[in-house]
Amino acid sequence: MGSSVSKASTSSSEMNPVQLPRGYEVLKVLGEGYFGKVLKCWKKDIKQTVAVKIPKCFENDTVNEVSMLRRFKRLKLHRHNIVEFIDSFQTKHGKAIVLEVLDITLGDHLGLTSFAPMLLSDIRSIIQQMGTALEALKGIGVIHADLHLHNIMIENHQTRPLRVKLIDFGVAMSRSEASQGKRLQPMALRSPEILLGCPFSEAIDMWSLGCLMFVMICGKLPFSGRSEYEILRSIIDLLGQPEDLVLSTGLETKKYFNWTESNSWELKTSFEYFRCHLNSVKDHKLQSLDDLKKMCLEENNEAEAAEREQCIELLKAMLKTGEDERITPSEVLTHPFSTKDYPNNGAEKSETSSRKMMRPKAAVMSKRRPACPSTLTSHIPPAGVILVRPATAENTLLLEGQGSEVSGRSYIDKTSGCSAFTSPFSSEDCTSSPTYLPSGVILVRPATAQRTVPGDQESADSFQSGRYEASVSLVTDVESGMESPICEDSGSCENTGAKGPVKKKNFLRRVFSWMRKTLRPCVPSVDDLACDS
């Protein structure tokens, strides 16, 4: 790499405190981390846009990261979902790193939907790909040690399946460097072995990935607290205490635990630890990970329940407090959730709700033209589901403009007692606790004979003809602020009396006209729905 430095333009130098070599043109700032600023640049010799990570100051030596990435390049690890290294060059603060450009971080992606739970199909593809990345790293004895929502990047968040890459090897190390007592990983994602100062291995990355999977499932962190003690207490609350055998190897165990007369370790109380009482700052109300199985997107959907069950089983295997018991990356890849191979898997016969929702969405997002006419019936959304484009900056604004959010908080069905989406977080008060939906999904009350006008065939016809309103029964009530035509009509609300058929018909007309105005820009066209192959 040539070391001659061009005189950057004013705008470039504003974005970039370090002048870049002649062969680069700065386009924009992509992101910033603790160690470096990442710029999108045009690399003239290869005629390609690249991401250039520039160290902020001299202490942030990137030599380790560069040599790690060079090794990955030799081993072609970009084929295993690890960011592709292109080049490096010297700056006054150390080596700048040139990488392939990626789209947005997983954290930003979740942020677009206010951390709504992700579809199981999206979670599966992310876990499979990160499992592959961790397997490749384990194969060469490398620990990433800094897995978090902003170190997993999506290649293009508008296409499905989601393609993700692992980035930021700033603190990555080889297994031989994994000396007991090192402080690694973001605190909330810190594994028990790091918290306790036990011997550790690549398994610490699986722990962090498990924590991230929890966030993808329910939009919350599994463990929270402002100190390591609180994180540890939070882990023990949800998962139970690590085995005494594990605790006995920790350099920090005595800091957090007392050795009792019954010859076992017992977590110190907050008073013993801090000299003051401290309430737990839990982000959720789960008693155990199994409670997550109760979270469902659709009632009475056995396929979805079976899929979720396997998803949570995998999560439990990732969040084992003892690293020896924790699932390995290769086991993740063969887990039934990853392979979608489990009893009651209705993949062949009837697809799960997430698939049903994903199909048209993928077609819409990839803007594929239908290559073949397809049978209409395979594209009719299940009763009670309105298909909308997945949340993007644009359509999020569209919905927000109506006083709502895609996050689903606004789509809680108060009248049905949260029956459309049961969340363990909202078990106490479903009107005030946040309940989340995946992006692109609006829940409606289940269709019943009374509520569905016209009948199935008519509904199918109108769906095909673009009159989507006919396939919809009733939109759920939304949270305050959202003007809803549904609850204006007493006949549609369970807590009010029924009205005559004429009034109901008028009401439905109003509903449909409201929906036409509101949802048309979000609803896929028939062309888009016509072929998903």
User: Any contact of residue 99 with ligand ATP (CB under 6 A)?
Assistant: yes
User: Any contact of residue 36 with ligand ATP (CB under 6 A)?
Assistant: yes
| Nearest-approach distance from CB 146 to ligand ATP, in angstroms | 6
Write out the two tokens for 291.
Answer: 């409670």
Q: What does the per-residue mask of binding to ligand ATP show for 499-518, with x meaning CB under 6 A?
A: --------------------
User: Any contact of residue 98 with ligand ATP (CB under 6 A)?
Assistant: no
- 3-state SS of 145-165 is CCCCCCCEEECCCCCCCCCEE
At 370 the three-state DSSP class reads coil
Stretch that binds ligand ATP, among 29-37, 118-126, 215-223, 524-532 (CB under 6 A): 29-37
Q: Is 140 exposed, middle or buried (0-12, 13-18, 19+ CB in 10 A)?
A: middle
Q: Give the Cα separation of 90 and 194 in Å (integer).
A: 34
Binding residues for ATP: 53
Residue with Cβ nearer ligand ATP (131 or 170): 170
Number of Cβ within 10 Å of residue 321's Cβ equals 21
Query: Within 13 Å of residue 472, how many CA atoms lie on the same side as its CB?
Result: 25
Residue with Cβ nearer ligand ATP (37 or 361): 37
At 97 the three-state DSSP class reads strand
Q: Give the Cα separation of 62 and 38 in Å (integer).
A: 13
| Nearest-approach distance from CB 172 to ligand ATP, in angstroms | 11
Interface residue with ligand ATP among 18, 20, 26, 31 (CB under 6 A) is 31
User: Any contact of residue 401 with ligand ATP (CB under 6 A)?
Assistant: no
| Nearest-approach distance from CB 388 to ligand ATP, in angstroms | 27
User: Any contact of residue 408 with ligand ATP (CB under 6 A)?
Assistant: no
| Nearest-approach distance from CB 40 to ligand ATP, in angstroms | 7
Q: Give the Cα separation of 300 and 128 in Å (integer).
A: 27
Residue with Cβ nearer ligand ATP (150 or 268): 150
User: Any contact of residue 368 with ligand ATP (CB under 6 A)?
Assistant: no
Residue with Cβ nearer ligand ATP (23 or 33): 33
Q: Give the Cα separation of 312 and 217 in Å (integer).
A: 9
Give the list of residues 6+ apart from residue 484 with CB closer than 8 angstroms, or none.
Answer: 475, 477, 478
Per DSSP, what are the bridge partners of residue 89?
Answer: 96
| Nearest-approach distance from CB 329 to ligand ATP, in angstroms | 21
Task: Given the residues 146, 205, 489, 528, select the one marked as catalytic.
Answer: 146
Write out the two tokens for 87.
Answer: 């080049």
User: Any contact of residue 33 with ligand ATP (CB under 6 A)?
Assistant: yes
Number of shown-chain residues binding ligand ATP (CB under 6 A):
22
Q: What does the per-residue mask of binding to ligand ATP show for 70-89, with x meaning CB under 6 A?
A: -------------x------
User: Any contact of residue 105 with ligand ATP (CB under 6 A)?
Assistant: yes
The CA radius of gyration of the chain, in Å to the nearest whole number, is: 26
| Nearest-approach distance from CB 37 to ligand ATP, in angstroms | 8
Interface of this chain with ligand ATP, residues 147 to 166, rule: CB under 6 A = 150-151, 153
| 61 assigned to active site | no
Q: Give the Cα separation of 136 and 139 in Å (integer).
A: 5
Cα-based angle 194, 199, 201 (whole degrees, multiple of 5): 80
Residue with Cβ nearer ligand ATP (194 or 286): 194
Number of Cβ within 10 Å of residue 356's Cβ equals 22
Give the list of residues 6+ apart from residue 136 with CB closer than 8 angstroms, or none.
Answer: 75, 77, 80, 81, 82
Residue with Cβ nearer ligand ATP (141 or 186): 186
User: Are 34 and 109 spatial neighbours (Cβ–Cβ below 8 Å)?
Assistant: no
| Tokens 């305050």 belong to residue | 480
Binding residues: 53
Closest chain position to ligand ATP (CB): 33
Which residues contact ligand ATP by CB under 6 A?
Answer: 30-36, 38, 51, 53, 83, 99-102, 105, 150-151, 153, 167-168, 170
Residues labelled as active-site residues: 146
